[in-house]
Structure 1
Amino acid sequence: MAASSKRSRATTKRNTTRTSGNPAKRPIVEAAPITAGDWIGAARLRTLPLAVAPVIVGTGAAQLIDPELHWVIALACLAVAVLLQIGVNFTNDYSDGIRGTDAQRVGPARLTASGQVNPRTVLIIGLSFFALAALVGLAIVIRTGQWWMLAVGAVCIIAAWFYTGGKRPYGYLGLGEVFVFVFFGLVATLGTTWVQAFQLPQEAWLGAVAMGLFACAVLLANNLRDIDQDREVGKRTLTVMIGRRATQAIYTLFIVVPFLIAAFIALLYPIAWLGMLALLAGIPAILIVWTYRLPKELVVALGLTSLTALAYAGALYWAFVG
């Protein structure tokens, strides 16, 4: 019996992975092999509605100026947004993984932190998505003649990398929400409108603010889920800085304000009232954020928040073109 217990402890010790440090320097351990599902999980599909929603709103705002749907440009904008989002997700996996801050995360697979995937491979995949986004963006610039937008695209990619990459990533300094609001809200929405209509009506600005707030809400839910681990490894997200209660309050505000914007838009475009139906997903998300007991419950809140943004965007599009 004692010998069996010793063998069990030895086996457990042999199969236990380290929780910090560069995965590339860890000893190889026995574990379930990485599957296609793990790669898909690393792309974090729950976040992709946040890439789609601004393009929908921006396209609808453009059609207020030019009723014709420029579907080729709209699809190209969608491709840029999705490719950038996936690129950010993979480069975050790489950067957080080599710092050892992803070792005990809840949620999607962390390829780099698992120690079973070469960190360089994850980095190359992330940069490849950035490159594809740049190529599609270049095509949009050539098609529209808006050469100055090359600078905007370059800034987007640089900002995406330094979110968690580099020596002093701003995502570790409580500035992640600023990046998300500006690039996944304002730039994504207004850029989509501009390349299709060459004007920025107030509807585009209102929609862009709403999209930015939803994106920030998703980030807050994500960081609330990881607050304990982030504290341990010194990752100073806004959530770590202000604590759980303040994060829950700001998250709620970021969900509610877009619906106040929708109510204002509905004064001119009554169909926008249908955007309130998105609260069917938004309210449960808020309740989960305030009442969760286990971090994994916030994965559901994150997904519901993304779906709220997508449904809201669809309602605004209908309001603008209906």
Structure 2
Amino acid sequence: MQSHFDINSASLAGNNKRGWKVWYQLLRPHTLTAGFVPVLIGTALALQSYNIHLFLFLAMLFASLLIQAATNMFNEYYDFKRGLDNENSVGIGGAIVREGVTPKTVMTLALSFYGTALLLGVYICMQTSWWLALIGAICMTVGYFYTGGPVPIAYTPFGELMAGFFMGVLIILISFYIQTGFVSSTAVLVSIPIAILVGTILLANNIRDLDGDKENGRKTLAILFGHDKAICLLAGMFIVSYLWVVGMVVAGLVSPFLLIVFLSIPKAVKAIKGFIGKTMPVQMMPAMKATAQTNTVFGFLLSVGLFISYFF
């Protein structure tokens, strides 16, 4: 069993490699693409017809990443408080139970990230519209109650839906709006496959944790569907994401260059194969990673397709 990591040592100078790793894992970096990709896509969509305001893009990007990282820390904090995490838990989390980081430190960091995101949000509103302050406040509230509060969203069948909407659809539309001043139907349609793929990250996590979540009274989609059917659902979500892009191209709504997203299919296939026949959480970790990578590669390629279509 790993020895506890001294929190004071971890916060000292960066010559302690293990300390940096603790803080890096606390961010749960494999999930941060859910904050980065939608901003990139919304901005790439805006580029089709408008000049991009670089500082607004950067402010939106960092605010989105900070909110996602803070949400991960709220997850870390409340999973510990509810006794769901222990030293034998599988996953990139566990800074509290395995590394000796105090719960207070995790919560303080999360609130600090929220505070910084709030300041960036004020700048964005000053340059665009104060209506975004209300939307941003709702996003941050949902981020907190995803694992916080008496009935966390993550414990219900609506976790994937809420994550997909707020971290997929809404962020893409806000990123588009702050550059253009309006929301287009094309932006809404392009956001759908990204929302689905953000949801797959949560579904993959819940498939891995199915047995433990069931013991602790959660009612996630993975639990309601069961292990095998949840994998089928995951595969179906991947398929719909790719077919959605094909549909938009066939309908003439977007450029055929967006079909470049099909280069990410091997990652999706790897994710599904990684879950099939696996029952132990540690065995499913590579599949979880492949699921997150599918979202990253798909979103990045979608952005590339949008950028290429701008020049052609």
Same fold flag (TM > 0.5)? yes
CA RMSD of aligned residues (A): 1.9
Moved more, 279-288 or 298-307: 298-307
How many angstroms apart in 1 are the aligned matches of 2:4 and 2:105?
Answer: 19
1:106 aligns with 2:78: no
Residue in 2 that maps onto 1:320: 306
Partner of 2:5: 33
Counterpart AA for 1:112? I
Q: Provide, for residues 213-240 of structure 1, a one-character-per-residue CA deviation record: whole Å limited to 9, x for no partner.
A: 1111010111111111112222332212
CA distance in 2, matches of 1:277, 1:119: 41
1:39 maps to amino acid = W
Structure 1 residues 37 and 240, CA gap change in structure 2 (3 angstroms): same
1:261-272 equivalences in 2 (<5 Å): 261-267=244-250, 268=252, 269-272=255-258
> 2:170 corresponds to which residue?
187
The answer to whether the 8 Å contact 1:47/1:306 transfers is yes
Alpha-carbon deviation of 1:293? 4.3
Q: Using the alignment, how far apart are the partners of 1:40 and 1:77 within structure 2?
A: 22
Q: How does 1:151-190 map to 2 (within 5 A)?
A: 151-190=134-173
CA–CA distance in structure 2, aligned partners of residues 234 and 101 of structure 1? 11
TM-superposed CA distance for 1:184, in Å, is 0.8
5+ long unaligned stretches in structure 2: 7-18
Q: 1:72 aligns with which of 35, 52, 55?
A: 55
Give the corresponding residue for 2:293: 307
**What residue number does 1:278 align with?**
264
Find out whether 1:54 has 2:73 as its counterpart.
no
* SS of residue paired to 1:239: helix
Query: What is the number of residues matched between the two proteins?
Result: 292
Does structure 2 conserve the Cα–Cα contact (< 8 Å) formed by 1:95 and 1:165? yes
Q: Residue 38 of structure 1: CA displacement? A: 2.0
Task: Determine the structure 2 residue equivalent to 1:9.
Answer: none
Residue type of the alignment partner of 1:143:
Q
TM-score, scaled to structure 1: 0.85
**1:122 and 2:94 matched:** no
User: Higher Cα Rg: structure 1 or 2?
Assistant: 1
Contact 2:70–2:113, Cα closer than 8 Å, also in 1: yes
Q: Which has the larger displacement, 217-226 or 301-310?
A: 301-310
Cα drift, residue 115 of structure 1:
8.0
Instruction: Return the alpha-carbon distance in structure 2 between the equivalents of residues 204 and 105 of structure 1.
Output: 40
In structure 1, distance between residues paired with 2:98 and 2:75 = 14
Comparing 217-226 with 288-297, greater Cα deviation is found at 288-297
Question: Unaligned 5+ residue runs, structure 1?
Answer: 1-14, 16-29
TM normalised by structure 2 equals: 0.88
Q: Quick one: percent identity of the two aligned structures?
A: 28
1:181–1:215 CA contact under 8 A, matched in 2: yes
1:75 & 1:197 partners in 2: Cα distance?
A: 16
